[in-house]
Amino acid sequence: MAEETEQDQKTEDATSKRLSEARDEGNLPVSREMSSWFMTIGILLVIAWLGPALSKDLLLALRPFVEKPQQISIEDGGLQNALMGIVTTTGFSVTLLFGVLVVMAILGTMIQTGFYAGTGKMKFDLAKLMPSRGLSQLFSMNSVSELVKSFFKLVVLGYVAYRVLTPVFQKLPSIVEINLLSSMVFFHDNLTHLITLLLLVITVIAVADILYVRHRYFKGLRMSKQEVKDENKQMEGDPMVKGRLRQIRLEKSRRRMMAEVPTASVVLTNPTHYAVALRYEGLKMAAPVVVAKGVDQIAARIRAAAEEHDVPLVSNPPLTRALYEAVDLDEPIQPEHYRAVAEVISYVYKLKNSKR
């Protein structure tokens, strides 16, 4: 009941991160029936395209044993050569068929999963050797469903094979009376017909199975709303941690800004709520640059630092507010403020000269 309740809570589709983790672990939606479909295609190709040529080679190798076995010479290696021809032809046919089956099985899997070379399923797990683990997998819903599918497929394919082969078995007495080549052509045609019908049945089963496997796969990877929230926090960072980091970065920026106040040429004030520190070096700068700015407590710290390092303070509320709103830190002032700032800088220079 607990597992059903937990599964009912998983109403959200799997995120891309969850799908990627499942792929890395080797958990992929693979339909065995689709692999069987590709293997059947491979067998049909071998029989349809290469079957006649292989049949002729095998017929030539068997002809001495079927038509004139008494003429086979036991001496001088005649029997050995005849047997070697049969073994070679049969071995080549079996090897070719096995190779085609392997290639088609790999292709059938790759089409479903893409290129995958992970080792998630190959990790050693001692728990897999426990008998209880094996029994639980043996009687799991997945195993039961695979057993039911296999039984159903066996029944359907058996029925199709029975309907196709029954007429063939009825003609066997007449087949014995015809020559070997004609009999091999007869069996080749009927075998091709059988595999074609089986292929049609397996196609329907494979399509249904892959839809079922993918539905079960994505359903098994569903997530609860809480899991999605936790993953988003993990991906984006905890809001509290992000806020703390933002506060640390802001504090570092303020310390760097306060360190620039002693280098300022003048500090404009509001006079108490705003403060903007400007630095201007006539031969090096095209326009004054804002090196520090702030309101309330930050403005008070800027004024205190300016007084401590003998930086002139000039009260000009409209200009101070305008510069605070329009100019960012370490940026030059806008052309529309040149005249007003120039008057302030000129006043500061005159003030310094008068003190000298």
User: Which DSSP string corresponds to 116-134?
Assistant: ----GGGS--GGGGSHHHH
Closest CA to 181 of 19, 35, 55: 55
Please report which confidence band the pLDDT of residue 1 belongs to, taking 50, 70 and 90 as the band edges.
very low
Q: Is 223 helix (H, G, I), strand (E, B) or coil?
A: strand
pLDDT digits (tens, 9 = 90+) for 220-274: 888 888 887 777 766 665 567 677 777 888 888 888 888 888 888 888 888 778 8
Domain ranges of the chain: 2-116+126-233, 261-355
Distance from C-alpha of 10 to C-alpha of 21, rounded to nearest angstrom: 17
CA Rg value for the chain: 43
The residue ranges of DSSP E strands in the chain, in sequence order, are 266-269, 274-279, 289-295, 313-315
Written as one letter, the residue type at 208 is A
249 contacts 256 by C-beta, under 8 angstroms: no
Beta bridge partners of 274: 295
**261-355 placed in CATH 3.40.190.10:** no
Tell whether pTM > 0.75. no
- Mean pLDDT (whole number) for 107-118: 72
The tokens describing 60, both together, are 């030539």
Question: With bands split at pLDDT 50, 70 and 90, how would you rate the model's confidence at 338?
Answer: confident
